[in-house]
Amino acid sequence: MSLRKGWIAAAIVGACVASCSPPPPPPVSGPPPGREVYAKAAKCFAAVVVSGRQDINPWLGNKIDRGNSPADADGGSAAPIAPDGYFLTADHVLAHADGRHIFIVLRRSGRLQGHLARVVWRSPDGDVALLHADVETPHYYEWTRPDAWLPRGTPVMHAGVATGFSGGSGKLISAIPPDNTVGGNRAFKHDIPLQPGDSGGPVVDSDGRLVGINSAVEFLIPLETAFFIESEANRPNVQRVMARVRSDRRARGKTAHP
């Protein structure tokens, strides 16, 4: 096959992948996440703190007190995605992490504890980052199916540290295609208002499975309404993220977890 014919064939195949993908499913509705999902989110609570301090535990107690936080502290939320200390957060939470320490904050026996963490992978364009802390995380999120659409209208809740347990539930405003139709990060919107500190927190469905990671809040003022809020989130390629987790385990000589 000549170079020109090969290029034409590749173009046709690429066009078919883009145009022959099945259209998004119609909107769906269903019951909002119930108490058991909120209980699971409470067990999976995780936050990120970035600070020049060597140890933030003297500051932590049974809650994160912003008014008494270290002067240089930045932070956000996180989502545990494996039983051995792997977390996803928003990449912009780590915007000022160079030369400083990153801590994952978990709740243990009613008290918050900070654990030093390191960056495994960052995607500034997708606003997602993968962190690891040397701590067991028996409570973690499993993903929604990576090979299936998440239709618009899917009931969801979020578990950010600022409003995760007081903001109520909502629904997806935009559908999320499966991994194999795009291959990379997929931005999506939901209708749950967020506040600073919610970035990096998990968005989960009514079964408590992870949909994606909160990124930002967009304020819109349409003509027909007085005020409207859309919250933006991101869903990375699940298979690639979990492959990075497995690769990092091998690099650390750890193979106990699947």
Res 216: pLDDT: 74
CA 80 to CA 204: how far, in whole Å? Answer: 12
CA 217 to CA 90: how far, in whole Å? Answer: 13
135 contact partners, CB below 8 Å, separation of at least 6: 85, 104, 106, 115
Binned at pLDDT 50, 70 and 90, residue 244 comes out as: very high
Report whether pLDDT(20) > 70.
Answer: no
- Around Cβ 193, how many Cβ atoms within 10 Å? 16
167 contact partners, CB below 8 Å, separation of at least 6: 158, 192, 193, 194
* Tens of pLDDT, residues 135-187: 999 999 999 999 999 999 999 999 999 888 787 799 999 999 999 877 789 99
SS3 28: coil
Per-chain mean pLDDT for the chain: 85
Helix (H) or strand (E) holding 119: strand 111-123
Res 7: pLDDT: 47
The domains found in the chain, sorted by start residue, are: 27-37+142-240 (2.40.10.10), 39-140 (2.40.10.10)
Res 110: pLDDT: 81
Res 164: pLDDT: 84
Least confident span in 39-48, 105-114, 214-223: 214-223
* Tens of pLDDT, residues 53-110: 999 988 886 566 555 566 778 899 999 999 999 999 999 999 999 999 999 999 988 8
Rounded average pLDDT over 224-252: 85
For residue 113, which of 104, 122, 100 has the smallest C-alpha distance?
Answer: 104
70 token code pair: 């270290």
Report whether pLDDT(258) > 90.
Answer: no
Q: Cβ distance 157 to 41 under 8 Å? A: yes
